[in-house]
Amino acid sequence: MELKKDSNAVSIDMLLIVHSEKRRAAQGAHMDSQADPGALLQRRGGFQGVGNGIRKWQKLEGNELYGNLAEKQHPQQPQVITSYDNQGTQLTVEVHPRDAMPQFLKKFSLAKRLQGDKNGNMRPRQPGGKDAHAYPWDRSSLKSMPLDLRQFEKLDTYASQVTVKSGLDELVSDLLQEAHSDLERVRAIWIWICHHIEYDVEAAQEKDRQAFKPTDILRTQKTNCDGYAGLFERMCRIAGVHCVTVPGYSKGFGYQTGQSFSGEFDHAWNAVHLEGRWHLVDSTWGSGLVDTATSKFTFLYNEFYFLTHPALFIEDHFPDNKNWQLLKPPQSLRQFENNMYHKSEFYNKGMLSAHPETSMIRTVNGKATITIESCAPTLFMFMLNGKQEHGLLSLRKNGMKLDVYPPTMGTHKLQIFAKGNSDIYSSVLEYTIKCNYVDLGVRLPAELHQPVGPSWFSEQMGIVKPSHPDPIIHTSDGRCSISFGVEEGISVLASLHGDDGPITEETQRRYIFQLHREKRTELKVQLPHAGKFALKIFVKKRQEPGNYIFVFNYLLCCANTKVNWPVFPESFGNWGQDNELLEPLSGVLPANRNVPFKLKLHGIAKALVKGQDTWPLTLNHEGYWEGSCSTAGCQEVYVMVLENANHNFYSYILKYKVNAQ
């Protein structure tokens, strides 16, 4: 035993080997609570540390310290008991059967694995200034040490496939076959636990959490966070790597934005000593997640919690001892409670920052604005109170901007999701919005989907150089014309959606007339009435099967209550991509009138207009087909074309309705 004392801390390094014939004496010594501040806890053998400043007690093997160690005839596993107090003191005791070599001495030579410092200390120092990282995060790395994850590919594959044959010692031995450094040893253990141990939701929700023995964890392959941390520590010790369990508070399963923390700690994780510094890991959260709706655990490996940068780890982990934050300056519990919680997927998907930086937002004039900065173009979506409504989300090259307009006063839940490089949107941020004023003039269409306005994504999908780069278009007369370049082989489809008026699925596209001119598409839009409308844009590669894909939409706004435009004429399949209609643009013609027609049609031999009678169109010197038609005595008028002069079959390309007399 060595006692080291300075002005800040006291550390005790002790290795206690108890043989069976000396058990009685050891028992007597431990019954003296003055000799061992944790003796009262050992009677209970659990996690509830009380008295003498001890906040968490972990017992990694199941027998009581005072149990009969010599009852079993087969070789017994050593007991390891570790305790911590709130001043950072750690006490570890190993109890071994008679004639047994301490586990970490048996596996590795003393000279190789337990080289002491110049003062003879065998355990690493408590965390100090050398371990501290600057706060806030400097955006340099998600990790606390330089890592190239590609170097772990072979080791990760191997470790994830190792199976349990007998006990913990043999498992660790098998895992270390491909590990050649302390970092690789820790990595192999981490990967195996994250891919094989399931989170026991029922056990975690029990009031008196049971202590999980490593042997039981290997058998059931289920445990709670204490079991994860204890197993990780035990396996690291067998591998000869210094590791401790750190208890504390967490923003994990069941966490509510803005909640406060008090009383018993709800989580445990680990610190490992690598390359002269302490580093943080959480194998519980690295293994998967719990569905909040079903309370079911799903294996979903999360790299984020392996050697996490402390300035990021503190967002959802608050240790009982501030030294284990590994931060300079350390954060207070109040700061931990109030700081914005960026979920691990926020950083996994390349986010850098978000504003506001507080989880509680108050609206200003009925609006709340959120911006996110990312290191690469990213797709986002949001949900306000579980619905994708009441917001305008526009994509930026490196992030997004979201304006939210809560429909009622009170408290609202805002969730923001990001897609990143995967095909799945993951929750990255949650805000609580408090609204004390509703702007009744801002009512967004329910069909206004995200994103709003053109962006890098629309360019990626083949729509370039839009005439209207802003997401909102205001029109005073209820009409507008929008154009953009379209890459070769891309077809465009558009539809109009509003909350008021009898706009059916059939007529959603009839208020839009699509024209193509020299690799640009023009959308002529006529609104049926005043209000706000979503103009949705879809694309599809012409040569590929499947449906059109939604790309973005515009928000069209018109305050003129006199607006009452009719639909455009109905077009058929033979209406060519490069055809152009100049007149008439209204799909409803007046009765008993001569109506002029002017169109540009490509690749046809003849064109005519058919009402009560047939009226031919003639080709002028500018390349337009012109003529007129009487609407007398008819309810519908059609434009028809003959594509081949040697044939007599005409095709319908446009259809007009005639007003009743």
* Torsion of the alpha carbons at 261, 262, 264 and 267, rounded to the nearest 10: 20
Beta bridge partners of 655: 570, 638
b/e code 59-98 from CB counts within 10 Å (16+ = b): bbbebebeeebeeeeeebbbbbbbbbbeebbbbbbbbbbe
Distance from C-alpha of 515 to C-alpha of 522, rounded to nearest angstrom? 5
96 catalytic, yes or no?
no
225 catalytic, yes or no?
yes
Of the residues 225, 236, 243, 629, only one is catalytic, namely 225
Query: 552 Cβ partners below 8 Å, 6+ apart?
Result: 451, 452, 453, 454, 455, 457, 458, 537
Of the residues 156, 282, 316, 320, only one is catalytic, namely 282
Query: The tokens of 499 are what?
Result: 């909350």
Distance from C-alpha of 597 to C-alpha of 609, rounded to nearest angstrom? 9
b/e code 402-436 from CB counts within 10 Å (16+ = b): bbbbbbeeeebebebbbebeeeebeebbbbbbebe
Distance from C-alpha of 607 to C-alpha of 519, rounded to nearest angstrom? 25
Q: Give which of 238, 222, 270 is closest to 56, Cα–Cα.
A: 270
b/e code 131-154 from CB counts within 10 Å (16+ = b): bbbebebeeeebbbeebeeeebee
Beta bridge partners of 570: 655
b/e code 574-613 from CB counts within 10 Å (16+ = b): ebbeebbbeebebbebeeeeebebbbbbeebebbbbbbee
CA atoms within 13 A of residue 12's CA, in its CB half-sphere: 15
Of the residues 133, 196, 242, 267, only one is catalytic, namely 267
Q: Give which of 442, 469, 445 is closest to 455, Cα–Cα.
A: 469
Q: Give which of 313, 311, 241, 306 is closest to 276, Cα–Cα.
A: 241
621 catalytic, yes or no?
no
Active site residues: 225, 267, 282
